[in-house]
Amino acid sequence: TDLNIKPITKFDINDKLQIIKINSGQGAIRNLLSLGIRVGSVVIIKKKSNLRGPMLLNVDGSDIAIGYRLSEKILAEKV
Amino acid sequence: MEFILVGQPNCGKSTIFNSIVGYKSLSSNFPGVTVKYSKGTICQGNEKIDVIDLPGTYHLNPTDQAELLAIKYLMKENSERVIINIIDSSILTRSLELTLQLMELNLPMVVCLNMIDEAHRKGVKIYSDKLSDILGVPVVETVGNRGKGIYDLFDMAYKVGKVNIAPKVIKDNNVQDLIENITEILGTSNGKIDKSHRFEAIKLIEKNSYFIEKISKRLDKKNLDKINKIISTIEKTQNNSSDVIISEVRHKMSFDIFEKVTEIGKPVKRDFRDKLDAVFMHPLFGYLTMGLFLYLIVFIIFGIGNLIEPFFVDNLTNLSDMLRLEFGENTAAYHILNGIIIGIGGAIGIVIPYLIPFFLILSFLEDSGYLARIAYLADNLMHKLGLHGLSIVPLIFGYGCTVPGILAARILKSPRDKFITIVMTTLIPCSAKMVIILGLIAFFISVEAAILIYVFNIIIVGIVGKILSKINPEVSPGLILEMPKYQLPSLKAILVKIWFRLKEFILIALPLLVVGSVILELVKYFDWIDGINSFLAPFTSVVLGLPKEIGIVLLFGILRKELALLLLFSAIGTQDVPSVLSVAQIFSFTIFVTFYIPCLATIATMIKELNLKYAILITVLNTVLAAVLAVLVRFAVMVV
C-alpha cells in the first residue's frame, strides 16, 4: 500500500534501508534471520551487480551476498 | 572426554582445529551420507580427548542435512563432552545468537572470543569477564590464525569438562511462560521433566520439522493439541510466527548482552583490506581480476606440473628398462612389476606436480576469503545453469586436472550442486586431454578447429549442467552468502590441510592405479591385445568409424589420458596420423576421448567424494555421451 516500500533490488547503492517484509519460504527466512536480515533490521546496499546478479548488503558490519531472485522478495523502505 | 567445536561459518573454527589437532585429523562422514566432519585426538592432562569439528552453522534450527546432523550429534547421550563455541569477536551480536542456542543444550561449554584483534581494530573492547558472568561459562580470547590463546582455550575446556558445570539458563519474560508450559507438557507425559524437554520445547516453538515429527510420534493427541494451542495463541497475540518471535527474543537478548559487555571506541584504522573489495567485487575490475587469478592458477598448476612431470616419467622409464633387462621382456614378473611401477608412477605423477600446487592454492583461496568473492561474481552466470557461483571453481580447476576439480567441489554445500558440478567437471578437457586436442586437431587440422572443439565442449558441458539441474530441481532459495573478512591464512593450517587432502587421495587412488596398470600389463603379457581389439571392434569400427587397432588405445587411455596419443601412434604404426585416418576419423577419435570414461584417478576421486554407484553412473553416462557426440561430429564433418 505504501509507495515507498519496494523490493530491495529497486534501490540504489549506498541506500540505507529498513526491511519491512520478507516474502520468501520458511527456510530462506530462517537463514536470513540468522545472518541478521529480519523484518525491522537496517541494511545498507553495498553493491548491485548487472544483469540480475546477486546484491551485497551490509548488516551490522558484515557483508552478505543475496541472490537476485531472493532479493526481489525482500521489501524495504529508505530510512 | 570429547570436545566439540561449534561456530558460525568463517569464525576461524577450522584454523583452530587444524592448529591443535594437526596432521592427525581424519575426515569422517556422518553415517550414510556424504556430509563430512573432522575428528582428531589430542592429549590433555594425561588423557586422550577426541576433538570434533562440526560443519559451521549459523543457528541450531536446521534447514539442511548438514545442520540437522550437527544437531543430532550434539544431542547424542554421552557422558563427558564439552562444547567449545567459537565466535568471531568482530560480529559479537550475531554470534551470540548461536551461543544462546547452544546454551539451551545444557552441556558444559566454553566460549572462545576468536579474532579478538579484529574487534579491537573495529574499536570494540569486549570485557570477557562480564560476558562470562552473564553466560555462566568461561570465556577465552584467541587469535586463531596466529595461534594466540589456543592452548589456554583447550586447557579451560578440559577444566570445564572435569567440573561438569552447565551454563546458566537465561530467561526472557516474553517467551518464558511459553517455553515452560510446553516443557511441562513434554515432561509430564514422559514421567518426569529432564533437561532435554526444555530444548525440545524450544525446537517446537521454532517449528523445526525434524523435532515436530519426532515428538508427534511420542506424544498422544491430547497433549499435542495442547501444545499447538499454546503456540497458536501466542502467534495470534503477537501477530507473528512463533519461530520468528523466538528468534527476535534471542536477537534482542544478544544485543542487550553486547551492550553490557562492550565499550565502543573509535576504529583503530582502516587498512588495505577494506579497500580490496572495491576492486575484487567491482562490476568490471572484479571480473577482470578474477579472470586473471583463475588464469594464473591454472597456468601455475599446469606450468609446474609440466615442468616436473617429465622427471618422474624419465626415471620410471629407466626403472622399467632395468626391469626388462633383469627379468626379460616376456616374463610375467617383468609385466607385473612394470604394472606396479606404472601405477605408482601414475599416482606420483598426479600428486606431486599437480595436486600439491593445487591444494596450496585452493587452501589459500579458501582461508583468505577470496573464494566467497568468486561465488559472488560468478553467481549470475552459474545461475543460468541452475547452480550457484561457487560451482565455477571446480570447473576452472578441471582445465588443469579433473582430480583437483572434483575435490574442489567439496566447497559446495548442497549434495545436488556437488553432483551436477562433478559431472560437468569430468567433461571439461583436462591438460592431458588438451595434449590430444592440440596434438591431433591443432597439429594436423587447424588451430581454429582446436578452438572450435573447446567451444563445442563448453556448450555441451552447459547443456549437460542445464539438463541435470532440470531433472533435480533446486530446493534451496538461492544464494545467501556472507563475505568473510580477508585474512592472511595460517601457514600451519594450510600445510595440515594439504597433507590431509593428499593422504585421502593417495589412499584411494594408489591401489586403483596399481591394480589397473597390472591388469593392462597382463593383457600385454598374455597377448590379448588382438582379442580385445576384435572384441571392441563393433564399437570402435562401427560406432566410431575407426580402425579396430585403436580399440586398445581407448582402453589404455582410461589409465592416463595423455598416454592415448602415444598409444595411438604406436597402434597405427606412424606419427603421420592423416596418412591413416581421415579428418572425420580424427575428429571422431578426439571427441570421443575428450568426453569418454574419466581416467582411473578421477574415478577413484569420484568414489571418494560421491560413492561407487554415482561414480559408475557418471562413467557410463560420459561414455554414452562421448559415443553419441563422436558419431554426430563424424557425420557433421563428412557432410561439411
Residue A1: pLDDT over 70: no
- Tell me whether B247 touches chain A (CB under 8 Å): yes
CATH architecture of B2-163: 3-Layer(aba) Sandwich (3.40)
Domain definitions of chain B by residue range? 2-163, 176-264, 285-639
CA distance A79 to chain B (A): 21
- Tell me whether B101 touches chain A (CB under 8 Å): no
**Number of neighbours of residue B232 by Cβ within 10 angstroms:** 11
**Residue of higher predicted confidence among B296 and A12:** A12
Phi, psi of B471, deg, nearest 5: -70, -40
Residue B476: pLDDT over 70: no
Mean pLDDT across the stretch B335-349? 84
Q: Domain B176-264, what fold?
A: Helix Hairpins (1.10.287)
Query: Looking at beta carbons, which residues of chain A come within 8 Å of B61?
Result: 30, 34
Give residue B407's pLDDT.
83
Q: Give chain B's mean pLDDT.
A: 86
Dist CA B463 CA B461 (whole Å): 6
Residue B626: pLDDT over 90: yes
Provide the sign of the torsion angle of the four alpha carbons B159, B163, B164, B167, taken in this order.
Answer: negative
> Which residue of B98, B277, B478 is in closest CB contact with A70?
B478
CB of B270 closer than 8 Å to CB of B485: no
Residue B349: pLDDT over 80: no
Residue B375: pLDDT over 90: no
Give residue A69's pLDDT.
86
Dist CA B341 CA A21 (whole Å): 65
CB of B430 closer than 8 Å to CB of B398: yes
CB of A79 closer than 8 Å to CB of A45: no
Which amino acid is located at B246 in the chain? I
CB of A12 closer than 8 Å to CB of B193: no
Dist CA B566 CA B196 (whole Å): 66
Q: Are strands A74-78 and A16-22 parallel, antiparallel or unpaired?
A: antiparallel
H-helix or E-strand spanning residue B321: helix B285-327
- List CB contacts of B588: < 8 A, sequence separation 6 or more: B544, B545, B546, B630, B631, B633, B634, B637
CA distance B480 to chain A (A): 5
- Tell me whether B246 touches chain A (CB under 8 Å): no
Q: pLDDT (tens digit, 9 = 90+) per residue, B81-138?
A: 999 999 999 999 999 999 999 999 889 999 999 999 989 988 999 999 999 999 999 9
- Tell me whether B94 touches chain A (CB under 8 Å): yes
Task: Measure Cα distances from B504 to B29, B31, B351, B490 in Å.
Answer: 13, 18, 11, 22
- List CB contacts of B190: < 8 A, sequence separation 6 or more: B197, B218
Q: C-alpha cell of B368?
A: 583468505
Dist CA A52 CA A67 (whole Å): 8
Where do we find the cell 560437468?
Answer: B424
Give residue B33's pLDDT.
53
CA distance B414 to chain A (A): 14
Mean pLDDT across the stretch A16-41? 88
Give residue B553's pLDDT.
87
Question: For a pLDDT cut of 70, what percent of chain B falls above it?
Answer: 96
Where do we find the cell 568482530?
Answer: B90
Buried b or exposed e, range B537-571, using 16+ CB within 10 angstroms: bebbbebbbbbbbbbbbbbbbbbbbbbbbebbeeb
Report the residue of B376, B384, B417, B474 to disrupt the A interface, i.e. the one with the largest count of A CBs within 10 Å: B376
**Residue of higher predicted confidence among B21 and B231:** B231
Give residue B288's pLDDT.
93
> Which residue of B97, B281, B375 is in closest CB contact with A47?
B281
Task: Check residue B381 and give left, alpha or beta (phi > 0: left; psi -120 to 50: alpha).
Answer: alpha
Residue B559: pLDDT over 80: no
The residue among B514, B617, B624, B525 whose CA lies nearest residue B559 is: B514
Query: Looking at beta carbons, which residues of chain B come within 8 Å of A62?
Result: 91, 94, 482-483
By CB atoms closer than 10 A (0-12, 13-18, 19+), residue B411 is buried
Dist CA B411 CA B391 (whole Å): 9
Residue B462: pLDDT over 90: yes
pTM: 0.80
**Residue of higher predicted confidence among B251 and B63:** B251
Task: Check residue B271 and give left, alpha or beta (phi > 0: left; psi -120 to 50: alpha).
Answer: beta
Torsion of CA B527, B531, B534, B536, to 10 degrees: -90
- Tell me whether B287 touches chain A (CB under 8 Å): no
**Number of neighbours of residue B418 by Cβ within 10 angstroms:** 20
Mean pLDDT across the stretch A71-79? 93
Residue B189: pLDDT over 70: yes
Give residue B423's pLDDT.
95
Query: Looking at beta carbons, which residues of chain A come within 8 Å of B389?
Result: 54
- Is the complex ipTM more than 0.95? no
- Tell me whether B207 touches chain A (CB under 8 Å): yes
CB of B350 closer than 8 Å to CB of B403: yes
Residue B67: pLDDT over 70: yes
Residues of A within an 8 Å Cβ radius of B: 24-36, 38-39, 47, 49-54, 56, 60-70
Least confident of A50-54, B77-81, B597-601, B609-613: B77-81
Buried b or exposed e, range B208-227, using 16+ CB within 10 angstroms: beebbeebeeebeeebbeeb
Dist CA B501 CA B494 (whole Å): 11
Residue B605: pLDDT over 70: yes
Dist CA A30 CA B68 (whole Å): 14
Dist CA B97 CA B257 (whole Å): 10
CB of B116 closer than 8 Å to CB of B142: yes
Task: Measure Cα distances from B476 to A63, A75, B32, B96 in Å.
Answer: 20, 20, 22, 26
Q: pLDDT (tens digit, 9 = 90+) per residue, B504-530?
A: 778 877 888 888 888 888 888 888 888
> Which residue of B98, B251, B480 is in closest CB contact with A32?
B480
Q: How far apart are the first and last CA of chain B?
A: 72
Q: pLDDT (tens digit, 9 = 90+) per residue, B390-449?
A: 888 889 888 877 888 898 887 787 788 899 999 999 999 987 888 888 888 988 998 889
